[in-house]
């Protein structure tokens, strides 16, 4: 099947692992953009089957990154089969201030902020620990009139939360075109499309003025590659939220940002992952 395949077809990434590596590989896939992961028993271990969107370049890049550790292949399957994960997604209570609800699920409004999300072919229902930690940090950091850069926006969860908190403008950036589409859809669904500007890029945008807050929930190697450009886009006294970090592998990333003039303010942790909240001196 070619790249011009019909909308009924969906590309999945399949990673073959030993049972002992299931958790490690699953975390790597989630941080690479997996919306859902199915474990299938095979003769010599486990096949992890996941959907990461339809951008072939992104799929191939993730496959290359993982191929050093495990056998990887890209399959094309019926779209209806690939979308069965939607039947099992429930509302996500980030904390007592925020609930993320799948757009296709009925939900009785609560006292918390409620946002509705459909990731489409992009990454992000908000259930991964790093997104939940980042959302908590955004809830603490964003105030009326702030400007925000959401680098690696996925389905737009963090940018939408920021806008709902009163941010005047949110720049949402992702390498995947499907993420831009999902972010714009979700921004409209949550009534904040007038304050979110979404664009596709692997680079940090050159903004007219430094922003008040940067959220970067992306893989550690990318955080390192983008460090100087990210720090350059936050104002003095502004906040940088770094996530996508395993607790026991975060030191070298945090040290890099400290060397560029940031100070650590707080570390949030959940299930072995962390979000580092920093400020620019």
Is it the case that residue 191 has pLDDT exceeding 90?
yes
Q: How many CB atoms lie within 10 A of CB 17?
A: 24
pTM of this prediction?
A: 0.76
Instruction: Report the chain's mean pLDDT, rounded to a whole number.
Output: 85
Average confidence (pLDDT) over 217-244:
94
Q: What is the DSSP letter of 224?
A: H
What confidence score (pLDDT) does residue 1 get? 28
What confidence score (pLDDT) does residue 3 get? 36
What confidence score (pLDDT) does residue 88 get? 58
Q: What distance in Å separates the CA atoms of residue 39 and residue 2, rounded to the nearest whole number?
A: 26
- Fold of the 90-280 domain: Rossmann fold (3.40.50)
Question: What is the band of 209 on the pLDDT scale with cuts at 50, 70, 90?
Answer: very high
Domain spans, the chain = 9-85, 90-280
What confidence score (pLDDT) does residue 269 get? 96
Cβ(255)–Cβ(237) below 8 Å: no
- Equal fold, 9-85 vs 90-280: no
Alpha-helix runs per DSSP H in 45-92: 56-67, 79-82
- 70 or 57: whose pLDDT is higher? 70
Is it the case that residue 152 has pLDDT exceeding 70?
yes
Note the CATH architecture for domain 9-85: 2-Layer Sandwich (3.30)
Is it the case that residue 219 has pLDDT exceeding 90?
no
Is it the case that residue 143 has pLDDT exceeding 90?
yes
Alpha-helix runs per DSSP H in 121-176: 129-141, 157-164
């Amino acid at each position: 099947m070619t790249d011009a395949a019909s909308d009924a077809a969906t590309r999945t990434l399949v990673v073959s692992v030993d049972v002992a590596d299931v958790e490690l590989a699953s975390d790597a896939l989630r941080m690479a953009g997996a919306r859902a992961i199915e474990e299938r028993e095979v003769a010599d271990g486990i096949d992890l089957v996941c959907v990461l969107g339809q951008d072939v370049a992104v799929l191939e890049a993730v496959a290359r990154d993982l191929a050093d550790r495990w056998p990887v292949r890209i399959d094309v399957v019926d779209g209806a089969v690939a979308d069965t994960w939607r039947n099992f997604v429930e509302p996500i209570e980030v904390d007592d201030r925020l609930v993320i609800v799948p757009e296709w699920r009925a939900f009785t409004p609560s006292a918390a902020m409620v946002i509705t999300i459909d990731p489409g072919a992009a990454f992000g229902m908000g259930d991964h620990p790093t997104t939940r930690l980042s959302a908590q940090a955004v809830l603490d950091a964003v105030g009326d009139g702030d400007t925000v850069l959401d680098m690696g926006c996925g389905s737009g969860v963090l940018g939408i939360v920021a806008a709902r908190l009163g941010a005047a403008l949110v720049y949402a950036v992702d390498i995947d075109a499907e993420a831009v589409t999902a972010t714009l859809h979700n921004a409209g669904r949550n009534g904040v499309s007038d304050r979110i500007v979404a664009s596709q890029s692997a680079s940090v945008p050159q903004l007219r003025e430094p922003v008040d807050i940067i959220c970067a929930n992306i893989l550690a190697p990318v955080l390192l590659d983008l460090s100087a450009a990210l720090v350059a886009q936050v104002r003095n006294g502004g906040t940088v939220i770094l996530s996508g970090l395993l607790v026991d592998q975060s030191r070298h990333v945090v040290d890099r940002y400290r060397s560029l003039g940031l100070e650590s303010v707080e570390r949030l942790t959940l299930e072995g992952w962390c979000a580092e909240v920093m400020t620019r001196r």
